[in-house]
Amino acid sequence: MKHTNEINNMQTSNSGRFFSRLGGLALLASIALAGCGGGASTTSQIPQAGTTTSSESTAFFNSSGGSDLDRFRDNLWRNINATSRCGNCHTPGGNAASHPFANASDVNAAYSTITQSDASSSNRYINRTTPSASGIVTKFSGAGHFCWQATQAACATDLTTWITAWIQPTGTTGTTISLTAPTDEAISGGKFFPATAPGNYSGVHTILMARCANCHVPNVQQAQQPYFAVASAQASYDAVVSNAKINLNATSQSRLYRRLVDDNHNCWTTSCANDGAAMLAAIDAMANGITAITQEAGTVVSRVVDLSDGISVSLGSRIDANAIAVYDFKEGTGAVINDTSGVGAPTNLSLQGVQGTDYQWLPNWGIRFLTPTGRAQATDSSKIHSGIISANAYTIEAWVIPSNVTQQDANIVSFSASGAERNFALAQYQTRYQSFNRSNNPAIPTAQKTTGEPVLETNDDDNDALATLQHVVVTYSAAAGRRIYVNGRYTEDTDPVSGASLGNWLTGGGYQLMFGSEGGARPWAGTLRKVVIHRAALTEAEVQQNFSASVGQKYILMFNVSGLGGFPAGSYVHAQVEEFDGFSYLFYKPTLINLNSTVPTALAIRGIRVGVNARESAIGQVFAGVNATIGSTYLAGTGPDSGQVLSYLGAVIPKENGPTLDKFFLSFETIGSQVATKDYNPPLTGAALIPPALNPSAVSDVALHTFEEISASMSELTGINRTRVATTFNRIFQQLPPTEAITGFVPSHQTGITELAINYCNQLAGDTTRTTYFPSVNFGGMSFATDANRDAVIDTLLDRLLNVTSGTPTNQPSATAVRTELRSLIGTLSTSCAGACSGPRTVEIVTATCAAAISSAAMLLQ
């Protein structure tokens, strides 16, 4: 049915081609017959017969070897010569027979056509340096050209993929890039922060003081840098400027504004939008009062470039020989994710939810699932089903950015019918990646087969899943079972079950390829940058190669520094640049080069900063630490690896107006003989050097002794070594006051104190030292009838506790009052034996009186 539809469509759009197509098929048939005896050849001329079968004509092949012509045949020609694609017109007899690069009947002729040069010696059909710039690709930059995909862009992507596979075969490092000078442009200027806070900063300052002073000041409990909510307008301004919280040239990108509207960060009303608007109005009022100037005073800057000046850097070679579904997420908008593999009918996925709310396209290629509603699902996944079960092997390859590492049971890529029925799935469980797989392994119970269990997951201790860009791969083969790779490295987690046939995989009945959830169940929050389904298990080396190939579009920007500080004409600092994510650019490996082969020597370059539009970015200036002298490590040439690398690091620089509007320059603290006069490190003076103020508060003069002090105090008062009550202390010490604050005292503390006191006193009353401590007590038995009798116990305790002999300090309890209480206690305890208490009872009374004394507030308070 599909085939018929394609034919019907072409009849509609390309009148008359139907009949020529029939002729082509007849010709192909005759070629096929003729070729049966010839076979393939590695000579420069390829026999025409036998190279294409009906099944091959719709399959994507990739060859890792052979001549350029071989690779053309295997990677491009076989994918475009079908009448459902370029071969319908771009072939002799077709409507576009003047450009027969898809000659369906003669691969040699097609190769000859597509590799020919035009009058200006550049190829009109393909661009070996930048496949995406090939003529047959850019034909799809507009609208109206016949396309086998849903969009023109998707066809362009298909062609780019095939051309890349042809000209950058597996195992090679890609084509050579020659650096060229960009269009010359000077810095256009903008607004800069004056050193002194302008008067109209007051609006921003007022809001900051009123709304942010609970945290963004130094002398509060939860002090949070930067301290821009301080009362001093200048100090506040300095903190705002140095931490890049306001963008004068793109005020709506100001962090003070975005934190409110994007992050709902401590909004002060119920509407963060309104609060943000108030902040933005204050920022605009300030920015509007600042006059733009051409260049910041005292800086030394390069010429200006933007991304359109960039030299496109092809990604490294990938292993896609068995890719049956490829998703690059280049669409940028809409509700469809295109399968750009070019293999058979594309397995496109439809996005669910609302763009911007539930999902979000990323400008640097990718899609981000924001809510559980945001997900994608195919409607016909039969290609994947049939491709994989026939191979009994597959690979799920995905570039992902999990939004967090707290989510669990979150399916990233699934071939499922529901949250409980699946053929395969790649999922995240906190910091673990998981693989589910249905197979015919007889050892697996049926119920588990349905869910793809037992799960293979990465070791929890390894924290393999991180909330950052990661290359995650699951491979499966009947022979080896499952393996998980993260960033090109095998995680060494062993599949709990052996591999088996995939013949029990299901299709139809709701079984579809899904991204971001399983039909709404097991939602995953994160970003997909690329997904590829292979009908083979990639080897470890192949996984590593695909990881090395990276993802996204990269450019080389050439910053002209000719004439600066003695650098000769043709001098550039180039850097690889890409959109890092929705918020920033990544600048990598700045390198000095001279395109005129005039190598400057003994010239210094120090302190490089990236400028965006009018000013140096206030944050992220990794290259500011560069300190290089051009000389012996300079490599001659004009390629991207030529010149002298100034830094191997990468700098993440915030976007301002977006990739189509932002212009970039480099500034230098020193370049050759030219030294910037701007003070990049203004010293702090005066108040700025004063450390954060302390926060003394009114505290009670009365405090508690803490746990160990209590034990030590009791030891001092009784003369009993702490080791003798160690068992009790070690059991209850956490029941004693941990801090001195009297407001923290609770009844359980007193219980612990009492128990400890009883132990000390019990030791004392049973110790040989007791007769020294209580010289007037007869431990063999005595009378407690009179106060004098009772004072025999009390006197020593009181003296030790309240320093009676040397004079009780007035901030201690009254000795008389305490004595009265203790006499009363002994009286009560000796009621039954007041005239003649036994020895054991005497010991008990001494112990109790001692405990009452040393567990009292007289001991506890200080």
Partner 1 sequence: MKNAMLRQNLAKTLLMAASIGCAMGLSVTAEAGVREQAKRIHDRLAGVPPSNAVLTSMVTALTNDTTGRTAADIAMQNPNFLGVTVKNMVMPWTNEEMTVFTPLNDTAATLIGMVRDGVDFREALYGDIIYVGSGTYSNSNNTMYTQLESSNADLSNTAVLIRRTQSQITGLPAGAVSGVLTTRQSSRAFFVDGTNRAMFRFTMLNYLCSDLEHLKDTSRIPDRVRQDVSRSPGGDSSVYLNTCMGCHAGMDGMAGAYARYQWTYTNDDPDSGQLTYTPTLVQQKYLINSNVFPYGYITSDDSWINYWRAGPNANMGWGGGQQVPTTGNGMQSLGQELANSNAFARCQAVKVYKAVCFNEPTETTLGTLVTNFRASTFNMRTLFADSAADCRGP
Identity of the residue, 341 or 842, whose beta carbon is nearer to partner 1 in the bound complex: 842
Closest distance to partner 1 from the beta carbon of 531 (Å): 16
Sole binder of partner 1 in the list 584, 591, 638, 728 (CB under 8 A): 584
Rounded-to-10 torsion of CA 32, 35, 37, 41: -140
Q: Are 671 and 564 in contact (CB under 8 A)?
A: yes
Single out the segment in contact with partner 1 by CB under 8 A; choices: 190-198, 309-317, 502-510, 647-655. Answer: 647-655
Closest distance to partner 1 from the beta carbon of 336 (Å): 22
d(CA 138, CA 159): 10
Single out the segment in contact with partner 1 by CB under 8 A; choices: 158-166, 371-379, 498-506, 677-685. Answer: 677-685
Sole binder of partner 1 in the list 44, 116, 180, 224 (CB under 8 A): 224
Identity of the residue, 36 or 689, whose beta carbon is nearer to partner 1 in the bound complex: 689
The residues near 817 (Cβ < 8 Å, ≥ 6 apart) are none
Site residue total, partner 1 (CB under 8 A): 132
What is the phi/psi pair of residue 289, to 5°? -85, 0
- How far CA 161 is from CA of 269, 576, 814, in Å, comes to 51, 22, 94
Identity of the residue, 269 or 463, whose beta carbon is nearer to partner 1 in the bound complex: 463
- Considering only residues 147 to 176 of the shown chain, the ones binding partner 1 according to CB under 8 A are none
Residue whose structure tokens are 């019918």: 417
Q: Does 520 bind partner 1 (CB under 8 A)?
A: no
Sole binder of partner 1 in the list 368, 483, 522, 615 (CB under 8 A): 368
Identity of the residue numbered 812:
Q
Q: Does 836 bind partner 1 (CB under 8 A)?
A: no
Sole binder of partner 1 in the list 188, 264, 459, 803 (CB under 8 A): 803
Closest distance to partner 1 from the beta carbon of 337 (Å): 17
- Considering only residues 377 to 396 of the shown chain, the ones binding partner 1 according to CB under 8 A are none
Q: Does 701 bind partner 1 (CB under 8 A)?
A: yes
Reference 643, options 660, 631, 625; nearest CA is: 631
Closest distance to partner 1 from the beta carbon of 669 (Å): 11
- Considering only residues 257 to 296 of the shown chain, the ones binding partner 1 according to CB under 8 A are 258
- Considering only residues 396 to 435 of the shown chain, the ones binding partner 1 according to CB under 8 A are 401-404
Sole binder of partner 1 in the list 365, 436, 623, 634 (CB under 8 A): 623
Single out the segment in contact with partner 1 by CB under 8 A; choices: 39-47, 317-325, 344-352, 709-717. Answer: 709-717
d(CA 465, CA 488): 13
715-719, Cβ contacts within 8 angstroms, sequence gap of 24 or more = 715/760, 716/800, 717/760, 717/797, 717/800, 717/801, 717/853, 717/854, 717/859, 718/760, 718/761, 718/763, 718/764, 718/773, 718/800, 718/850, 718/854, 719/764, 719/769, 719/773
Q: Does 212 bind partner 1 (CB under 8 A)?
A: no
Closest distance to partner 1 from the beta carbon of 714 (Å): 9
Residue 710, H or E segment: helix 707-718
Q: Does 487 bind partner 1 (CB under 8 A)?
A: yes
Q: Does 666 bind partner 1 (CB under 8 A)?
A: no
Q: SS3 letters for 9-35?
A: HHHHHCCCHHHHHHHHHHHHHHHHHHH
263-266, Cβ contacts within 8 angstroms, sequence gap of 24 or more = 266/211, 266/212, 266/215
Q: Does 831 bind partner 1 (CB under 8 A)?
A: no
Closest distance to partner 1 from the beta carbon of 39 (Å): 44
Sole binder of partner 1 in the list 690, 743, 768, 831 (CB under 8 A): 690
Q: Are 352 and 374 in contact (CB under 8 A)?
A: yes
- In degrees, rounded to 5, the angle at the alpha carbon of residue 543 between the alpha carbons of residues 539 and 544 is 115
Q: Does 829 bind partner 1 (CB under 8 A)?
A: yes
Closest distance to partner 1 from the beta carbon of 202 (Å): 22
Single out the segment in contact with partner 1 by CB under 8 A; choices: 57-65, 280-288, 378-386, 801-809. Answer: 801-809
- In degrees, rounded to 5, the angle at the alpha carbon of residue 788 between the alpha carbons of residues 785 and 790 is 60
Identity of the residue, 154 or 852, whose beta carbon is nearer to partner 1 in the bound complex: 852
User: Would you state the structure tokens that stand for residue 207, as one six-digit string?
Assistant: 């809001």
Sole binder of partner 1 in the list 271, 708, 744, 839 (CB under 8 A): 708
Identity of the residue, 138 or 224, whose beta carbon is nearer to partner 1 in the bound complex: 224
Reference 385, options 507, 476, 502, 482; nearest CA is: 507
Sole binder of partner 1 in the list 55, 648, 746, 831 (CB under 8 A): 648
Closest distance to partner 1 from the beta carbon of 609 (Å): 10
306 forms bridges with which residues in the sheet?
A: 663
Sole binder of partner 1 in the list 48, 58, 594, 849 (CB under 8 A): 849
- Is the peptide bond prior to 363 cis by the omega test (within 30 degrees of 0)? no
d(CA 581, CA 551): 12
Identity of the residue, 76 or 525, whose beta carbon is nearer to partner 1 in the bound complex: 525
d(CA 402, CA 417): 23
- Considering only residues 2 to 41 of the shown chain, the ones binding partner 1 according to CB under 8 A are none
User: Would you state the structure tokens that stand for residue 581, as one six-digit string?
Assistant: 């994510």
Sole binder of partner 1 in the list 115, 232, 242, 440 (CB under 8 A): 242
Reference 647, options 666, 619, 674, 675; nearest CA is: 666
Identity of the residue, 135 or 372, whose beta carbon is nearer to partner 1 in the bound complex: 372
Closest distance to partner 1 from the beta carbon of 225 (Å): 4
Q: Does 620 bind partner 1 (CB under 8 A)?
A: yes
Q: Are 609 and 667 in contact (CB under 8 A)?
A: yes
- Residues 432-471, mask of contacts with partner 1 (x by CB under 8 A): ----------------------------------xxxxxx
